[in-house]
Structure 1
Amino acid sequence: MNFWGIDLGGTKIECAVLDAGSLSVIERQRIPTEADRGYDHILSQIKKLIAQVSQKIGEFPTKIGLATPGVLEPESQTMKNCNTTCMNGQRMQEDLEQLLKIRVRLANDANCFALAEALMGAGKDYPDAEVVWGIIMGTGVGGGLVVNQKIINGHHGIGGEWGHNILEDGGELCYCSKQGCVETVISGPALERAYEKLAGTPLKLNVIIERHLSSSDIHASEVVERLLENYGKALSSVINIIDPSLIVIGGGVGNIDLLYTEGYERIKKYIFNSGQLTTPICKPVLGDSAGVFGAALLWN
């Protein structure tokens, strides 16, 4: 039986089927999520997509993995932390199993990103990497932890997360109700807000980086300095705890090359290892495929 996965996004739902032996892609399809039509409609869209793919390849799954924009609370078995808010509080795994009549596993999309990159992406260049930390730096900041090719969900279902640790005392208010979270300091929108506060005019992050590199904008350079220094602090604190064999950075901010050069040096300032750091930190290989591939690999 092949591996089936669903990546449930805010605007689209993607299904992928992987060959169980080679992990090669057999089929991929997408349809709109249409989340504004509510929770029950999202479930019906998932069922519709699976039916479409089944018809195409002549096979219906007996089990499926699902990457979600939130997490299944282990104790209550209800969804939490979903930016598609109609999903919060819902017994999504149970509801899907009843609707589809098959077994379902759910995992946060950052966990699925980490699992896919560990098994199919960047991790292929590091076959001995026992602990892989996949982090997301984009509109938000999140992460997932994979140990011995298995996701570490944790007691509360938040294993690998780092975006809501406090990085800046008394800092900007976060949607999670705390102040100064990592996400409010080094996410893409946070860096753009920091620039606007300094310069008085808005600017996209890619332009901020360009202006810094050309030494043409002192405010841009201040924002990049803010990014690099806080990146070093934020990563070092987690490295000190889990000491990963490999770190893979996804998300738009993760495309900034400075993170892998100057940013790497900033981590050395704070790591509890006499300034020594040999952990590989790299960009993802799978692009936006990581979520759906990781979902399929939940049954690997």
Structure 2
Amino acid sequence: MKTVYGQVKGVDNSGTAVESAVKADTIRYNKYRPISLSAVIINAGASETSNREVLIALDISGTNAPTHYRLSESGTMAGAGWVEYDASQAITFTLSSGTGLKTVYAQVKDSKSESSIISGNISLVVFTKKLLLSFGWHPKDSDDGVSYKYVSFDELPGVNRARIGIGANERQNMLWNDMSAAGYLTVFGTYAVAVNNNLVENGNQGAVTGNNSGDYPDEYLKRCSYNATYWGDGKWISKLEIPAGNYRFRLFASTIATNKNTEGKQARYELVTAGYGTDSETVHEFPQPDGYDFRNNTGRWLEKEVTITGEVYVRIVGLATCNNAIQPINMLEVIPKE
């Protein structure tokens, strides 16, 4: 038991200093905090998956380390056995068959207590083959300081992490989200927002949800490459070499930059499918709906369907009216059409 004593003093109506009586209260102090589970995070916060096997992360607190966990799609945990907890091992779970929203319930325990049962959600969808590009990665973002020199692949959620920055004019390999070869990416000299080189803190990074509730985890939303327009027109250009066919392109752009001139409609996002660099370019502009603004954007994508013959250029054109501003590109989805 712990006892806390208190006393106050002041001045009465006659101006005389007075002190109160000493009062006390007691409380039982127990430094042990029962184990608690506050979040079940599936596939790093992804909203959907086409793979029944998912990765589970558990947000656990308490005095003692967890000893066991159990997972189930039943809120009663019926039939779910306890599994020994090993912080060095990834936790996986196989979802039930059938598409739709899936709820995974979890519980943990230590040597003295068990947590409440809480859940996380993810939608199991029919597999859609996609080429997913995330721009703005830097070699320093990788553990070895080298891996992101070119494009690296994150199997979950199937994203190509493209190293973009001034001088990154190399032809880089890309993979579809089923890990088969997709083609090549070349990005011409641009600016980038990465992480460990501190550029991500330069005020130009993308907006995030704060809880990984976007279409992709926050680590992807916040990274971007961008066109910087300091005078006149400016351009950000990349080239994709992929098989000929019909494709739906989805482009995500976001920045927290507060420049008064940083506005969505002061930049054009374009696809050039033929005659690039000539007077006879075939240009397809991404339409920007009413009210579109890439400032603090966490969920609005631009979309365009085109037919290509083997290569396509992605271009951001900063307009002359947006001097001293940036126009970002964070992610690009390329989806083959049947």
Same fold (TM over 0.5): no
Looking at secondary structure, tell me which structure has more strand per residue: 2
Looking at secondary structure, tell me which structure has more helix per residue: 1
TM-score when normalising by structure 2: 0.28
